[in-house]
Structure 1
Amino acid sequence: MENEIGQPAIELAFDIRHGRISPVEVIDETFERIDRLNDEFNAFVYLREEDARTEALAAERALENGDPVGPLHGVPVALKDLDSHVEGMPYTFGGVKPLGEQMPERTSVTVQRLQDAGAIVVGSTNSPEFGASGDTTNPMFGSTGNPFNSSKTAGGSSGGSASAVGAGMIPLALGSDVAGSLRIPASVCGTYGLKPTPGLVPSESQPDLFRDAAPFVSYSGLTRTVEDTALLLDVIAGEHPRDPLSVPEADTEYRDAVDRSIEGLSVAFSPDLGVYDVEDTVLSTVEDVLETLRGAGATAERVDIDFGIPFDVLLESYNALLNPSLSAAVEGIEREMGIDLLGEHRDELSPQVIDFIEDGYEYSAVEYKQASVVRSRAYETIQRVLDGHDLLVTPTLATTPWEKGKPAPDKIAGEAPETDKETFLTWPLNLTGHPAASIPAGRSAEGLPIGAQLIGSRFAEDTVLAASAAIERRQPWMDDYPAQP
């Protein structure tokens, strides 16, 4: 059978609705491909085979009966094994070995919305512990490989989702983003990933309902096409009473933005966000995207970004917000579950995670609040650019994909980075909260994907989607995915 799962989710949903393929056949093919490919890529960590097959049969009967169906009826989707879950399927907070398998008591808000739209959850994908790495490796499940070269990283922390989509095991997979966790995997795996404005997609960050505000956490997914992400947002966006940070959905459908002209769109280009060292092959590839935007009717000019503070000060403000939140989560685990992660279970955690947790205890409440002053400066810096332009374009990463199992490359532009954060031009946008997407920009001489980052003003997801779709029409990437055996 031709790989139906490798086509966009929207096309697959169309074929299902019009009887060209049945939901049962789709689920059969999905599990067949996962069974055949997952040993190489290690993208999936749990499968929900029995329930998924039952739901596929019900979806088929609904079509036979002429029942009303949703926009994702019969389409298989995957969850990230960190912050989205479905009742009855285990999750592990990203392979945190001492916690073992947790069994959720209820389905996440976003997952419920997907199911209400007809989607069928087939399993969950690999993530680093607590999502705290730009590479997807953890002690429980090991490392996830890149669909273009399985010895290379799939990024993190939504690396399992991006790998599964890029390898054609699934058309759509959920992810989240606190430092680039959607955009980093999208860049290295050649998929599309949009970090929405915080609050646009609701979550249930129990026990701290306000956790996602510092730094901003956003929820969305990884797809092969821009239109699939637009449809995903149409399904999962909108306020929810269990999320006090959620906001009302937009007045227009995001899918409408995909067909919008970008004639006259004003684009600013920063090659380095003013504080990064970026490799030449990445810059030249991203600059080609600017020419594509110009060809679609946009204007584009280079801008110099100046945060007025050095890189290490900007990063320290990010760490002062994120790491105490991780430390607080570990404290909560000990209180609620009686598991002392830094005590008797210390040897079961990755060293990087231990460093993050222990670092979080070092910040005072005053330092935590002072970090928001630096964060405010970062916001104002980005917004000044967007006050004069509709879009800001940068590289997503400073380099091409590196070896899996490492949180960052050994060298960037010939120099060893002092921190993994020097690799990612993503986390400053989690300080500011601007929507940002990584779009496939091209490939390196070794055939590895390179991403361009498109940044818009708050709640301007439609602009980001319109520009992304214009790029996709003129330099399509669907045929670039490696054919899997």
Structure 2
Amino acid sequence: MTPFQPAADIARAVRAGDRSATEVVEPFLDRIAERADVTNAFVTVLEDRARERAREVDAQIERGEDPGPLAGVPLAVKDLTEHIEGVRNTYGLEPLSDNVAEETTVTVRRLEAAGAVIVGTTNTPELGHTPLTYNELQGPTGTPFDPDRNAGGSSGGSAAALADGLTALATGSDVGGSLRNPASCCGVVSVKPSFGLVPKQTRPDAFYSHSPFGVLGPMARTVEDAGLMLDALAGQSDVDPFSVPAEGDYHDAATAGVPAGAFAVGYTPDLDRFAVEESVRTVCGTAVDALADAGTAVADVTVGGPSKPDMTFDYGKQATVYFATIVDRLEDEHPELDIEGEHAGDVPPSLLNTLGMGRGHGADDYMDANVGRTAFYDAVEDTLDGLDALAVPVLATPPLPNGADFPTEIDGENVSGLPMDWMLSWPFNMSGHPAVTVPAGLTDDGLPVGLQLVGHRYDEERLLSLAAAYERANPWSYPGAE
């Protein structure tokens, strides 16, 4: 069993007694130690804790107990809003480099209750504020396909760890594409679930994640593994007033073998708004053609609604207020923290600019953005009528070099140099539609490109069945996989 073995296969072997969880975790810990400097994916590696947890899983097996559907599966946790009691939790902030979490969040508790073995925490930009994973504390995280190029963000550490065989599963979060963007840059699978399907534990403000819709979700190397992990994460929890019951069986949906011919998909290479590099259009178009060749009904579609400048303005208002609010809450919790004052030199200008913009918006600005969101939501609903999903590129270009600015020109078109011109992901945080990101393929330069399959709200089962059919039509492998 290699570090690139699917999580579902690991769990089956451990539950059947064919492999011990202790035997499983060691190759992952060895590979993390050997390749720690290649992508810089991990913030904290939990060797002793992982070994102890693996022994607990083995003891359950010996007692004839079922340790759960993720039995013995190595898993990494993004070093942001999910945390583990007694483990360092930095939020990507240099001033919080020694901060230790005082409790374990509900998602982590659920994953461990399902049998997972947590091997460490993964890198993220400060507060997850940008779609490139770099911070003053840890430095940049690169994609295993070319470590000099960024893994994307803000869940870049999780995506890179998966693609490099350092973990079998990982958590991520998404306010504007932070599950999907790194999945695209690293060639992995992610699920941005419908709002509320996976509970968030945010105190003292349990209500802030609705504008824009911020969610937690699974990251994996296969659609089956993503479905298996979503089963463990999903469902109502009293810690989250927005959480909803999980009514599906996501692993079954991902493994049901529904034929590609059972689906209808609408394809838009640019969401009728974005400049998209020709290499991305080519890779995504070829991937969608393969799905059509397998039997899926594919049609070119247009998505109406507000103009891109209006949508960008509305998203910017709510996203910047969102991050300004996070800083206020974090500074209340950590009185020694002063991000815009004493510690301004310890964070990048991009975070300070984000906070400055957020503090410049009034409550009426913040609420007015919902009118544009509603118009885009209606447009997506209209386009999805009669379809199972929309297929849309995740990013306008392949992974960017570490240290690079966002593009000011894409496909010969001048753009603003803001991340909203580079990502085709954030509009669906405005509308709340779920999305499964799958690897579309490689450019001629060997760089990964991701495709997001955007579905009906709370229809993750159908979306995962489609993603599995896509996966069968578009096989995928990783650098270093044996």
Query: TM-score band (shorter)?
Result: over 0.9
Tell me, in whole angstroms, the C-alpha distance in 2 between the residues paired with 1:19 and 1:368: 55
Tell me, in whole angstroms, the C-alpha distance in 2 between the residues paired with 1:456 and 1:253: 14
Query: How far apart are 1:302 and its partner, in Å?
Result: 0.5
Match of 1:177 among 169, 174, 178: 174
Q: 1:440 maps to which residue?
A: 439
Q: 1:289 maps to which residue?
A: 287
Match of 1:135 among 132, 136, 139: 132
Q: 2:474 maps to which residue?
A: 475
1:457 and 2:456 correspond = yes
Tell me, in whole angstroms, the C-alpha distance in 2 between the residues paired with 1:285 and 1:443: 7
Q: 1:159 maps to which residue?
A: 156
Contact 1:86 1:107 in 2 (8 A): yes
Q: How does 1:7-406 map to 2 (within 5 A)?
A: 7-93=5-91, 95-259=92-256, 260-307=258-305, 309-338=306-335, 339-406=337-404
C-alpha RMSD of the superposition? 1.6
Tell me, in whole angstroms, the C-alpha distance in 2 between the residues paired with 1:336 and 1:473: 47
Tell me, in whole angstroms, the C-alpha distance in 2 between the residues paired with 1:451 and 1:130: 24
Query: How far apart are 1:332 and its partner, in Å?
Result: 2.6
Tell me, in whole angstroms, the C-alpha distance in 2 between the residues paired with 1:461 and 1:258: 13
Output one character per residue of 1:420-459: Cα deviation in whole Å (capped at 9) or x when no partner: 2111110000000000121101100011111111000101
Query: How far apart are 1:368 and its partner, in Å?
Result: 0.7
Contact 2:78 2:158 in 1 (8 A): yes
Output one character per residue of 1:96-149: Cα deviation in whole Å (capped at 9) or x when no partner: 112333222211111101111111111100000010111100000000011111
Output one character per residue of 1:315-358: Cα deviation in whole Å (capped at 9) or x when no partner: 11011111112112222333342222111111111110000001
Tell me, in whole angstroms, the C-alpha distance in 1 between the residues paired with 2:434 and 2:166: 27
SS at structure 2 position matched to 1:220: strand
Output one character per residue of 1:168-187: Cα deviation in whole Å (capped at 9) or x when no partner: 11110100111000100001
Contact 2:250 2:460 in 1 (8 A): no
Output one character per residue of 1:196-220: Cα deviation in whole Å (capped at 9) or x when no partner: 1010000112221011111001111
SS at structure 2 position matched to 1:174: strand
SS at structure 1 position matched to 2:410: coil
SS at structure 2 position matched to 1:397: coil
1:430 and 2:396 correspond = no
Query: How far apart are 1:484 and its partner, in Å?
Result: 6.7
Query: How far apart are 1:67 and its partner, in Å?
Result: 2.1
Aligned residues: 479
TM-score by length of 1: 0.96
Relative to structure 1, the CA distance from residue 153 to residue 411 in structure 2 (aligned partners, 3 Å threshold; closer, same or farther) is farther
Relative to structure 1, the CA distance from residue 235 to residue 280 in structure 2 (aligned partners, 3 Å threshold; closer, same or farther) is same
AA in 2 matched with 1:367: D
Tell me, in whole angstroms, the C-alpha distance in 2 between the residues paired with 1:472 and 1:224: 11
Contact 2:250 2:464 in 1 (8 A): no
Tell me, in whole angstroms, the C-alpha distance in 2 between the residues paired with 1:304 and 1:256: 28
Contact 2:254 2:467 in 1 (8 A): no
TM-score by length of 2: 0.96
Tell me, in whole angstroms, the C-alpha distance in 1 between the residues paired with 2:12 and 2:173: 27
Tell me, in whole angstroms, the C-alpha distance in 1 between the residues paired with 2:473 and 2:481: 25
AA in 1 matched with 2:434: P
SS at structure 2 position matched to 1:312: helix
Tell me, in whole angstroms, the C-alpha distance in 1 between the residues paired with 2:194 and 2:472: 25
Tell me, in whole angstroms, the C-alpha distance in 1 between the residues paired with 2:312 and 2:436: 21
SS at structure 2 position matched to 1:155: coil
> What runs of 5+ residues in structure 1 fail to find an aligned partner?
none
Contact 1:333 1:340 in 2 (8 A): no
Tell me, in whole angstroms, the C-alpha distance in 2 between the residues paired with 1:85 and 1:333: 14
Identity of aligned residues (%): 39
Output one character per residue of 1:214-240: Cα deviation in whole Å (capped at 9) or x when no partner: 100111121110000000111110000
After TM superposition, where is structure 1 displaced by more than 4 Å over at least 4 residues in a row? none
AA in 1 matched with 2:346: E
Relative to structure 1, the CA distance from residue 74 to residue 257 in structure 2 (aligned partners, 3 Å threshold; closer, same or farther) is closer
Contact 1:135 1:408 in 2 (8 A): no
Tell me, in whole angstroms, the C-alpha distance in 1 between the residues paired with 2:328 and 2:228: 38
Contact 2:314 2:369 in 1 (8 A): yes
Relative to structure 1, the CA distance from residue 255 to residue 354 in structure 2 (aligned partners, 3 Å threshold; closer, same or farther) is same
